[in-house]
Amino acid sequence: MTKNERSMTRREDAVRSFPAGRPEEILTPSADIVETPESFVLMLDMPGVTRESLTVSMEQNVLKVKGTVGELPHNGGEMLFREIRAAGYDRTFNIGEGVDRDRIDAAYEQGVLTVTLPKREEMKPREISIR
Amino acid sequence: MALVRWSQQRDLPTFPSDVLSMQREINRMFDSFFRTGWIEDTGLAPAAWSPATDIVENDTGYVVKVELPGMSKDEVKITMQENQLSIRGEKKHEEEGKENGYHRIERSYGAFQRCFALPTAVDASKIDASFKDGILTVTLPRSEAAKPKTIEVKAR
């Protein structure tokens, strides 16, 4: 076998041994947390998640976000390179007393889930006038 | 020995978000080395992060998928030179974060670049790219000359 042939065989083996089809891992999505005067804003990277599977729920002090990645249309081809690992995302956050639970809002756009947690009136920064 | 992408951030890590991205980068290196047998063609451009990419070869050509959450089509540039596919762009911080400050930053920001040498030539005029839910999909049909052909063996 020439050197070239050997390296080709090796590459073919590597391709074959490596799992085809969709990924299976449930990952913790990366999150940014920003505080504005009115609210806390959570931004979570959840690319490829379907809207139907996406849930944001609040139970007692725990905010839970969950979503499943839709089928990546690989058309039955062969994977040459594989780094995308998420089949879904799951994460919980402890939410403090300062958040108004009835007005929590969530939006999914460009693969990013944005959860806005408005502060209760008494938690908002206030300027105190000086007599 | 495999070439390793040079990253300014890896050389100058600051705790803690860079450690996380460093760990991801190392995992990625191991993954691509042991699992794919395919070495990425690294550019020399410094990159702050490296979005996860899948490449699939099918009957018609190649499908490249890149996770780019929060990015729009105007922020990404795709170029094809010979069989070298390059995807680059820059993710900017959200306005809200810039104005109010962050409590936590885990998501990746800054410039990125990924380059791949495709095994066969593609038809550059028929490359299609689309964005959906933060995933960029680039479809590259194989050029006519590179399509597999069956050669009939004549009996004499």
Q: For chain A, what are the domain ranges? A: 22-122
Give this prediction's pTM: 0.73
Above 70 in pLDDT, residue A7? no
State the pLDDT at residue B95: 79
Report the SS3 class of residue A118.
strand
Q: Taking residues A60-87, what's their average pLDDT? A: 84
With respect to residue B10, please indicate whether it lies within any of the assigned structural domains: no
Judge: B63–A80 Cβ closer than 8 Å, yes or no: no
- Percent of chain B clearing pLDDT 90 (strictly above): 35
Greater confidence, A3 or B151?
Answer: B151
CA distance B51 to B74: 17
Cα B117–B119–B125 angle (5° rounding)?
75
Range of the domain at B95: 40-144
In this structure, what token pair is assigned to residue B100? 């109010």
Q: Which residues of B3-27 are buried (b: 16+ CB within 10 A; e: fewer)?
A: eebebebbeeeeeebbeebeebbee
> pLDDT grade, residue B97 (50/70/90)?
confident
Domain count, chain B: 1
**Sign of the torsion angle spanned by Cα atoms B32, B35, B39, B40:** negative
Nearest chain B Cα distance for residue A20, angstroms: 10
Q: Taking residues A88-107, what's their average pLDDT? A: 94
Averaged pLDDT score across all residues of chain A = 83
With respect to residue B23, please indicate whether it lies within any of the assigned structural domains: no
Chain B, residues 132-151, CB within 8 A of chain A, namely 132-135, 137
Question: What CATH number does residue B68 fall under?
Answer: 2.60.40.790
In this structure, what token pair is assigned to residue B38? 């395919």
**Sign of the torsion angle spanned by Cα atoms A71, A59, B104, A32:** positive
Q: Taking residues A17-42, what's their average pLDDT? A: 81
State the pLDDT at residue A83: 86
Q: Is the CATH number of domain A22-122 2.60.40.10?
A: no
> pLDDT grade, residue B17 (50/70/90)?
low
- Percent of residues in chain A assigned helix, strand, coil, to nearest 5: 15, 45, 40
C-beta atoms surrounding B92 within 10 Å: 12
In this structure, what token pair is assigned to residue B149? 């052909």
Contacts of B101 in chain A (CB under 8 A): 34-35
For the ranges A70-74, B6-10, B49-53, B120-124, the lowest mean pLDDT is seen at B6-10
Above 80 in pLDDT, residue B45? no
Contacts of A14 in chain B (CB under 8 A): 35-38
Q: Which of A119, A131, A18, A117 is nearest to A63 (CA)?
A: A117
For the ranges A49-58, A98-107, B14-23, the lowest mean pLDDT is seen at B14-23
